C-alpha cells in the first residue's frame, strides 16, 4: 500500500512540476494554470473567459449568444464507425445550444452504439435546408466552421 501511495505521489509531482514547460500537457500543470489567473481576471464577460479554459466551450457559448433561439443545427461527420472522436463536439453543442435542436442524423433519430453513432449522415447544404435545418457546424481538424443555411442560421454581430 505504501508503495502504491508513493508511486501516485511521484506521478503527481512529475506531472505538476517537471512537465510544466511541455505545451502538450499545459492543462495539467499547476504552474501553467497559475499563469492563467491574470488572463481570467482580465476577461470582461463569461463567454470570453471560457476561451482560457476550454476553447471549444468558448465557441459553443459564443454560438449560443449569436444564434437565433429557433435555429435547428446540424453537425455532419459524427455518424459512423470512424467518427467517434467527434462525439465530444456534438455533446458540447447539444448542451450549450439547448433548447435548440442539434442533430447528427438527417432523420433526427441517431442511435448511440458502443463505438459509433448510427444514423443518416449528410453534408449537403441543399438537403439540410430542405429538411428544415438553419445552420451547419462543420468541425475539421479541430477548427469550427459555421455555415448559415437560412435567415434563422445567420449569426448576429458580436
Q: Which of 54, 33, 142, 43 is nearest to 96 (CA)?
A: 54
Q: Total domain count for the chain?
A: 2
pTM of the model: 0.69
> Does residue 29 carry a pLDDT above 70?
no
Determine the average pLDDT of the residues in 27-43. Answer: 68
Based on the fold, state whether residues 6 and 61 are members of the same structural domain. no
22 lies in the same domain as 98: no
Q: Which domain holds residue 128?
A: 52-153
* Strand boundaries in the chain, DSSP class E: 72-74, 101-103, 111-112, 117-118, 135-140, 143-148
Same domain, 86 and 136: yes
Residue 72, domain member (yes or no): yes
Is residue 28 domain-shared with residue 60, that is, in the same domain?
no
**Contact predicate 25/12, CB 8 Å:** no
Q: What's the distance, CA 70 to chain centroid?
A: 20
How far is Cα 18 from Cα 26, in angstroms, rounded to an integer? Answer: 11
pLDDT at 24: 47
Same domain, 20 and 57: no
Q: Is 80 within a domain?
A: yes
Give the integer Cα–Cα distance in Å for 88 and 137: 13
Same domain, 22 and 100: no
Q: What are phi and psi of 19, to 5 degrees?
A: -95, 10
75 and 14 housed in the same domain:
no
**Is 47 within the bounds of a domain?**
no
Q: Could you tell me if residue 42 is inside a domain?
A: no
Grid cell of 151 as nine digits: 435567415
Q: What is the reported pLDDT for 5?
A: 92
Tell whether 70 is covered by a domain.
yes
pLDDT above 80 (res 2): yes
* pLDDT 10s digits, 55-109: 778 788 888 888 988 889 998 888 877 777 777 888 888 888 898 889 988 888 8
Among positive and negative, which fits the CA dihedral 104, 107, 108, 109? negative
Amino acid at each position: 500500500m505504501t508503495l502504491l501511495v508513493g508511486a501516485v505521489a511521484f506521478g503527481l509531482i512529475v506531472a505538476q512540476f517537471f512537465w510544466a514547460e511541455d505545451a502538450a500537457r499545459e492543462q495539467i500543470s499547476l504552474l501553467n494554470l497559475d499563469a492563467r489567473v491574470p488572463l481570467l481576471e482580465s476577461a470582461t464577460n463569461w463567454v470570453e473567459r471560457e476561451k482560457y479554459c476550454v476553447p471549444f466551450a468558448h465557441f459553443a457559448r459564443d454560438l449560443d449568444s449569436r444564434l437565433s433561439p429557433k435555429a435547428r443545427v446540424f453537425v455532419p461527420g459524427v455518424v459512423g464507425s470512424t467518427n467517434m472522436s467527434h462525439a465530444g463536439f456534438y455533446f458540447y453543442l447539444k448542451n450549450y445550444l439547448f433548447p435548440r435542436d442539434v442533430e447528427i442524423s438527417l432523420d433526427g433519430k441517431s442511435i448511440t452504439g458502443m463505438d459509433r453513432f448510427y444514423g443518416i449522415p449528410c453534408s449537403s447544404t441543399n438537403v439540410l435546408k430542405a429538411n428544415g435545418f438553419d445552420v451547419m457546424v462543420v468541425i475539421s481538424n479541430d477548427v469550427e466552421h459555421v455555415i448559415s443555411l437560412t435567415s434563422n442560421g445567420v449569426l448576429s454581430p458580436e
